[in-house]
Amino acid sequence: MVADSVVLQVQGLRFAYPECAVLEGFSLAWPAGLALVQGDESTGKTTLLRVLAGELTPQAGDITLRGVRRGAVPAAAWRAQVFWQDPRATALDPLTVRQWLGSLPAHCARWDAAALAAHVEGFSLEPHLDKPFFALSTGSRRKALMAAALASGAALTLIDEPVAGLDKPSVSYLGQALAEAARQPARLVVVAHYEALPGVPWDSVATLARPR
């Protein structure tokens, strides 16, 4: 792979919780497109996304996004290039979906309102826009987060366990939406899931195993 084509480079990444190590010497070099992080439960998929997002600080290793090393810029500047929302977090619970979506253009320089409208329709989110997040089902919550992620235009877009609670039409739409987002120049969309989603054209794949 030509160095100029690499959007995300990770070298020698190490992250350990007090009770166990999760990532040991992890490295990758991925171009723009659609990437899959796969593995069984407790292999570190969500942890890796949180480290890439700047939510967790690794004990060792370097992360470079579009030629900029994470440690060389302020945390806020790094996060401005990344879209990440943990579907398990409760911070959004008091907000309605519409309120939250309306706040995002101010934080996403490449926000695409037309794409958001398409994703709201594709995921059948319209009936849920004025509901608070705490009132959403697992599937509706994930659909709202993914609609925003895909519309964000972020250079690095991180999506965790995308099909939990989704109905079949939404799973089908998700595959189409992922492929479309990944065609945007210099954008990398990373999805963490225990296996490859059928019919999705992955450009890069990393498989995590439990540390020994």
pTM assigned to the model: 0.94
Residue 20 belongs to a domain: no
In a domain, 16, yes or no: no
210 found inside a domain: no
Task: Give the whole-angstrom CA distance, residue 30 versus residue 54.
Answer: 18
32: DSSP letter = S
Please give the pLDDT value at position 70: 92
In a domain, 139, yes or no: yes
* pLDDT at site 4: 57
Per-residue pLDDT at 87:
93
CA 206, 174, 52, 114: dihedral to nearest 10 degrees? Answer: 140
Closest CA to 199 of 14, 34, 22, 61: 34
Give φ, ψ of 88 to 5 degrees. -90, -10
DSSP three-state, residue 154? coil
* 26: in domain: no
Do 153 and 187 form a contact (C-beta atoms < 8 A)?
yes
Q: Which stretches in the chain have pLDDT values below 70?
A: 1-4, 211-212
Any domain includes 184 = yes
Does any domain span residue 88?
yes
Inter-residue contact 8 to 206 (CB < 8 Å): no
Tokens of 9: 């480079």
Query: Quick check: is 2 in a domain?
Result: no
Parallel, antiparallel, or unpaired for β 68-69 and 60-65? antiparallel
Q: Residue 5 carries which DSSP code?
A: G
* Domain CATH number, residue 96: 3.40.50.300
For residue 59, what is the DSSP state?
S
Q: What is the per-residue pLDDT for 188?
A: 96
The pLDDT of residue 2: 42
Domain count across the chain: 1
Task: Write down the pLDDT at residue 66.
Answer: 92
Structural domain that includes position 126 = 32-57+71-201
Q: What is the CA radius of gyration of the chain?
A: 17
- Dist. CA 52–CA 156, nearest whole Å: 9
DSSP 8-state code for residue 92: T
Residue 193 DSSP SS3: strand
Q: What's the pLDDT tens digit per position in 105-116?
A: 999 999 999 999
Distance between CA atoms of residues 132 and 130, nearest Å? 7
